[in-house]
Amino acid sequence: MSLPCIHCGSPTLWDDSISSAVCTECGSLADPSQSVLTSSSFVNMNDTSEPSLWDSAAPITLKGFRGGNNWDLVGQGKDARDRKNMFAMAEFIKSLAVSFNATGLSPRAITLFNQVKAACNLRWGQKARSVAGACLAIAFRESNRPDSLRDIATLLVVPPKSVSREFTYITTTLKLNLTLVDPSVHISTIQNYLAMSLKTSRNGDIPASTLKALDGLCLRSAAKIAISLCDLLTRLCPEHEIVRLPVAPTACGIFLLALEAEKRTAINPLGDLAQALASSCHSTKSVVMARYKTLQDELAVWIERVPWLDKYETKGGRAVVAKRVVVARGLKEVIQFQDDLWRQHLRPSLHIQFDDVEQDTEWQQTEENSGMDSGHRLSKRQKLDHSLASASNFLLNPLGSPASSASSHQTTVRRNSSNLPLAAYILTNSSSSWTNRPPTRLQILARERGGGSETEIPDEDLFAEGEFEKMWRSPEEVELLKKTFGWDSIDDTTNEASKASADVPIRKARRTQVNSSDTTINENPAPQKRSRLNMDALAQLLADDSGMEEGHLSDEESTVTNMLIGMGQLIDESNSNDEHSEDEYANDYNDDLNPSIIMEGHTSASVPRRSRKRFASELDDDDAECAIDNWRAPTPDYMGDDDCRYEQEYD
């Protein structure tokens, strides 16, 4: 009978794999001291990707009689020694691949080494190191990379001929068919080597004449020409003898031709430059020059096939123009001409015959519609999604706007415009203005269409459909508002006042009054400027009037007093014809003063701002009376900010 769990009290079950009872609820062990000494879930001890190099289940202790009663020690048997050596060679090949920045090729090189070891039963030591280097070189060739036999031999500290010999032996024994390496794989190496040589050889290692010949040449453009020539050579001359030769000297000869094609003339002296390039591939000057002349003769034949190029001609046993010059001038045109011919070649087409007659008919109709039989090219369907192009243009020029012509159609402008209409607005405005002052419809349309004139943005585009009609009030709402605010009586009073003063212009009469009052105060008046100050009211305030002594004010004097005590913004703002200035002036003072006005004999309890002129005209009536409740004097120099108020000091 199993004991209950000591943690939760649930029943337990015995498990032979862990030699302990396990709780069915919480999974705890009844006897935690038990442990498993061996398990099949252990990972391979070999850190590489070859699990066959180390077998943990194989015995490593050999006990047998050898020359009597002596016992063999652990690990001294042949099999154990071979496994350890295989594991060591795997680690060695892996580190060698890391040196060439080709860690992904180490499993293939290890596999080739194991196959060679099993097939040839080679010995451990110097020969095993050469075989390991050759296996890595074969892996390079299979991945379309240069074999780098000399570089591998340098790292292995073995002669290069030893690695080359093992390379040939492995390919023959394992019957490997390696593809020919394209010479273009060496072009980047030659370019870097020549660039470094030009930088470090200013002291005299390279002759001054060679340095002068290479001044102004772009090595990157020459490398592109060399790569194109390598592709053309592989395409047009796959059976040429130069393709079967080692590719490193061939790449040097091709690069020399590319340098002359970039300069469009012959480079003299060429031998010193050939010697510099030959040293990069462990070759000699004579080999590089032999490949250069072979390629030059082949290019001269290709130039004969281009009609508009100058041909190599001889006159009297001597060349009219040197072959080197002819090849240098026509190499770029030959590459372009052959590429155009290759693009015009017909591509193979696949015709599938269906068993169903209907499918066959449908396939024929599809071919006729696609224009394969007729030969004409159908119009390409326009791409609708330009998000990637718009994002790229935005990263290149965030503040740029698309240029739109006035003659282009409106839909075309919209299609060619950017999908990021707010990019310039977001980048040129602060984050606080995004919520307070968002861009208007006119700004967005001007950004999208590249301008804000009437040709790009007509008037009907400024409003959405039905938006302008919603801004108008219905006649019922107008009548209701007139009754609510008492605009009917105000309109009647305003009409009577306007008819009475229709003969005299208000602005001219006011200017005449101001001039007369200034003449009374000052005999030599200064040039008048437009001001918000009522000069008539100021003159009456400064004058010694008997009405002030008696303690009562006339209607005109009450108007002046109201203006001076803070009521002027409600009454005399009708004197200014600039409605924008009126609103700013009223907004600055109304919130602080807020006087309560009671108009007796008037039906309206409150007067809106837009009817201040009419309200001021009613104050001239003798029956109207103005009463101020809970009024206080305004703060001097108040500009709407609490920090600007003065602090009164008391003694």
- SS3 assignment, position 454: coil
Question: Is residue 90 situated within a structural domain?
Answer: yes
Residue 388 belongs to a domain: no
Same domain, yes or no: 433 and 495: no
When mean pLDDT is compared over 145-149, 297-301, 566-570, the highest value belongs to 297-301
Q: Residue 186 CB: number of other CB atoms within 10 A?
A: 24
Write down the pLDDT at residue 407: 39
Higher pLDDT among residues 639 and 331, named by residue: 331
* Alpha-helical regions (H) of 125-237: 126-142, 149-156, 160-173, 187-200, 208-214, 219-236
Indicate if 556 and 616 belong to the same structural domain: yes
Looking at the fold, whether 167 and 104 belong to one and the same domain comes out as yes
Looking at residue 205, its pLDDT comes to 57
Same domain, 452 and 586: no
**Is 319 inside any structural domain?**
yes
3 state DSSP class of 254:
helix
pLDDT, mean of residues 446-474: 81
Asked whether residue 52 is assigned to any structural domain, the reply reads no
What average pLDDT score do residues 514-537 get? 57
CB 640 within 8 A of CB 588: yes
pLDDT band at 640 (very low <50, low <70, confident <90, very high): very low
Task: Choose one of 173, 206, 225: the last residue of a domain.
Answer: 173
pLDDT tens-place string over residues 174-220: 888 887 777 888 888 888 888 888 877 654 556 777 777 888 888 89
For range 410-437, the mean pLDDT: 52
Q: How many domains does the chain have?
A: 5
What sign results for the dihedral spanned by CA atoms 213, 217, 223, 228? Answer: negative
Model confidence at 594, in pLDDT bands (50, 70, 90)?
very low
Is the pLDDT at 491 greater than 50, yes or no?
yes
Mean residue pLDDT of the chain comes to 69
Q: Among the three residues 173, 197, 222, which one is the final residue of a domain in this structure? A: 173
Residue 457 has a pLDDT of 86
Q: Are residues 201 and 166 in the same domain?
A: no
| pLDDT attached to residue 255 | 93
Neighbours of 47 (CB within 10 A): 13
Q: Extract the tokens encoding 508.
A: 């001219």
Answer yes or no: do 431 and 556 share one domain. no
Kindly state whether residues 97 and 217 are assigned to the same domain: no
Which DSSP string do the residues of 419-435 spell out, in sequence order?
S-TTHHHHHHS-TTHHH
Task: State the residue range of the domain holding 320.
Answer: 183-343
Same domain (yes/no): 435, 456? yes
**pLDDT computed for residue 294 by the predictor:** 92
pLDDT-derived band at 651 (thresholds 50, 70, 90) equals: very low
Domain with residue 102: its CATH number is: 1.10.472.10
Residues 519 and 461 in one domain: no
In single-letter form, the type of residue at position 171 comes to: T
* Integer angstrom CA distances of residue 178 from 20, 250, 485, 546, 616: 59, 19, 100, 126, 106
DSSP per-residue codes, 291-316: HHHHHHHHHHHHHHT-TTSPP--EET
| First vs last C-alpha separation in the chain | 102
Interatomic CA distance for residues 330 and 428, integer angstroms: 53
**Helices 126-142, 106-120: inter-axial angle, 10-degree rounding:** 130
Is the model's pLDDT at 258 over the cut of 90? Answer: yes
Q: Does 390 reside within a domain?
A: no
**Predicted pLDDT of residue 427:** 60
Task: Say if 208 falls within a structural domain.
Answer: yes
Provide the pLDDT for residue 571.
43
What is the per-residue pLDDT across 142-166, written as a single tens digit (0 to 9) for each? Answer: 887 777 888 888 888 888 889 989 9
User: Percentage of residues in the chain with pLDDT exceeding 90?
Assistant: 9
Residue 531 has which token pair?
């001001």
Between 362 and 607, name the one with better pLDDT: 362
Q: Is the CB of residue 255 less than 8 Å from the CB of residue 187?
A: yes
Lowest mean pLDDT among 84-88, 409-413, 484-488, 633-637: 409-413
Most confident of 41-50, 302-311, 426-435, 489-498: 302-311
Do 206 and 337 lie in one domain? The reply is yes
CA within 13 Å, CB half, 224? 7
pLDDT band, very low/low/confident/very high, at 410 (cuts 50, 70, 90) = very low
- Would 325 be classed as within a structural domain? yes
Q: What is the mean pLDDT of residues 377-391?
A: 67
Amino acid at 634: P
Final residue in a domain of this structure, among 173, 197, 214: 173
pLDDT band at 24 (very low <50, low <70, confident <90, very high): confident
Q: Are residues 512 and 634 in the same domain?
A: yes
- Encoded tokens for 71: 């016992």
- 8 shares its domain with 29: yes
Length of the chain: 651
Query: Do residues 173 and 159 touch, judged by C-beta distance below 8 A?
Result: no
Residue 46 domain-assigned (yes or no): no
